[in-house]
Amino acid sequence: MTSAAVRLTQIDGKLPNLALMKLAHWHKSRGDDVIFTKHIERDLYEPEYHRVYGSAIFSYSADRVALFKEQFPSAIIGGTWNLSTLTTVEEMIGQDEYEHYDYSIYPTFDASIGFTQRGCRLKCGFCVVQKKEGKPRSVNTIADIWRGGSYPKHLHLLDNDFFGQPEDQWRARLNEILDGGFKVCLNQGINIRLITEEAAQAIATVPYYDDSFKYRRLYTAWDNLRDEKIFMRGVERLNSAGVPPSHLMVYMLVGFDKSETWERLFYRFNKMVALGIRPYPMIFGDRGKTLPLGGVNAPIADRTLGEFQRWVIRKAYNFVPFESYDVNARGTLAPGQGNLFEVAA
């Protein structure tokens, strides 16, 4: 078997990319020469490759993906950036499950990262998880995910529906986290719409943290205004179980709902802020999109979703109204705000 030259390209995202880590492991196990890079443009001195891969997570990376394709026309591009891209790594390498990861392509990363489950109980229109992965199933224990040895007991679990796996399985994983003294970051978010009182009580006992493992944080989402009742029920359940709203970071999808107006968007935002929740807008599609005002009586008709996202992430709403916000001003990130937000869901 002759070795092949392989280029793995991370097109977006700050967290290590598990798909590329799998491909690195698989190709190296076959004796191939693997180069990992975040550069989408071909360097002058790069060799010709037998195989080029790219992975992108966010829909706003479409321009970068297009540029990458220009540079490497035969590249195989995966990831959640595009709803029509449903190919999995396993399909590419011809295996049913491949749970081996090459951490060496991220030499400064010392946490452990993986999935205890794949799939999701829901099927949201903007999301590929159910289409790609189907219904929830358990895939790894905590011992399978942790790298062991002297690595810190810090786990990034990328599960999209942790409590969607069978109850005996999620209880076993939570016990493994507790018994092993791990800190866990569930930064894809737990499914608050389907959270039961039992699940809320169980998650409240676990050391859940932000992705720096410094601040208590539990991630979830409120994507549609029509889910208000069910979302608030979940917030109440968590609060009663011991997870206060101030621990919640809530992804709010913007730019997807065709009936979205600034009024409807601000309704969700204001409800969360009033409770002490931290919203995090996730933009679907065009960051430069503007919205109809709805009933909002403020001069924000020309404001864009990208500007709104920046105003929220930087917590500028604490000191300046959106209409007066200077997007070029250097904002302040609150403690624990530095977040990787690797979600597509």
Shortest separation between residue 228's beta carbon and ligand SF4, angstroms: 16
The region of 35-43, 70-78, 124-132, 332-340 touching ligand SF4 under the rule CB under 6 A is 124-132
**Residue 293 token pair:** 């005002």
The residue written with tokens 């109980």 in the block is 121
Shortest separation between residue 292's beta carbon and ligand SF4, angstroms: 25
The size of the interface with ligand SF4 (CB under 6 A), counted in residues, is 11
Alpha-carbon distance of 61 to 336, in angstroms, equals: 25
Restricting to residues 101-120, name those near ligand SF4 by CB under 6 A. 120
Among 62, 92, 122, 275, contact with ligand SF4 (rule: CB under 6 A): 122
Question: Residue 163 or 322: which CB sits closer to ligand SF4?
Answer: 163
Shortest separation between residue 120's beta carbon and ligand SF4, angstroms: 3
The region of 8-16, 127-135, 168-176, 203-211 touching ligand SF4 under the rule CB under 6 A is 127-135
Of 139, 142, 127, give the one whose Cα is nearest residue 189.
Answer: 127
Q: Which residues pair with 220 in a beta bridge?
A: 250
Residue 5: burial class (beta carbons within 10 Å; 0-12, 13-18, 19+)? middle
Alpha-carbon distance of 164 to 190, in angstroms, equals: 9
String marking each residue 179-208 x if it binds ligand SF4 according to CB under 6 A: ------------x-----------------
Of 337, 163, 340, 157, give the one whose Cα is nearest residue 234.
Answer: 163
Could you count the other beta carbons within 10 Å of the beta carbon of residue 74?
8
In three-state secondary structure terms, 29 is helix
* 123 lines the binding site for ligand SF4 (CB under 6 A): yes
Among 59, 80, 130, 169, contact with ligand SF4 (rule: CB under 6 A): 130
Shortest separation between residue 24's beta carbon and ligand SF4, angstroms: 25
Among 10, 116, 160, 220, contact with ligand SF4 (rule: CB under 6 A): 160
Question: Residue 281 or 331: which CB sits closer to ligand SF4?
Answer: 281
Instruction: Measure the CA dihedral 285/287/288/289, to 10°.
Output: 50
Among 129, 145, 157, 316, contact with ligand SF4 (rule: CB under 6 A): 129
Shortest separation between residue 213's beta carbon and ligand SF4, angstroms: 23
Question: Residue 101 or 163: which CB sits closer to ligand SF4?
Answer: 163
* 137 lines the binding site for ligand SF4 (CB under 6 A): no
In three-state secondary structure terms, 266 is helix
**Residue 70 token pair:** 């220009």
* 220 lines the binding site for ligand SF4 (CB under 6 A): no
In three-state secondary structure terms, 281 is strand
List CB contacts of 130: < 8 A, sequence separation 6 or more: 119, 120, 122, 123
Kindly list the residues in this chain that would bind ligand SF4 in the complex (CB under 6 A): 120, 122-124, 127, 129-130, 160-161, 191, 345
